[in-house]
Homo-oligomer: A and B are copies of this chain.
Amino acid sequence: MGTKVPIILFVFVMLCALSSAIPSKRKSYTPCKNMVLYFHDIIYNGMNAANATSSIVAAPQGANLTILAPQFHFGNIAVFDDPITLDNNLHSKPIGRAQGFYVYDTKNTYTSWLGFTFVLNSTYHEGTITFAGADPIMQKSRDISVTGGTGDFFMHRGIATIMTDAFEGEVYFRLRVEIKFFECW
Contact = CB atoms under 8 A, between A and B. Distances in A.
Interface of A: 1-2, 5-6, 8-9, 12-13, 15-17, 19-25, 27, 29, 44, 46, 55-61, 64-66, 74-77, 79-81, 97, 99-101, 103-107, 111, 113, 115-117, 119, 128, 130, 132-134, 136, 143-151, 154-155, 157-159, 182-183, 185
Contacts of A64: 61
Contacts of A56: 60-61
Contacts of A81: 74, 105-107, 111
B115 A105 contact: no
B74 A77 contact: no
6 contacts: A12-B12, A57-B77, A75-B79, A130-B145, A133-B148, A147-B148
A147 B128 contact: no
Contacts of A44: 60-61
A98 to B, nearest CB: 9
Among the interface residues A23, A55, A106, A154, which one has the most CB atoms of the partner chain B within 10 A? A55
Given A22-B24, A130-B145, A143-B128, A55 B66 contact: no
Contacts of A113: 79, 99-101, 115-117
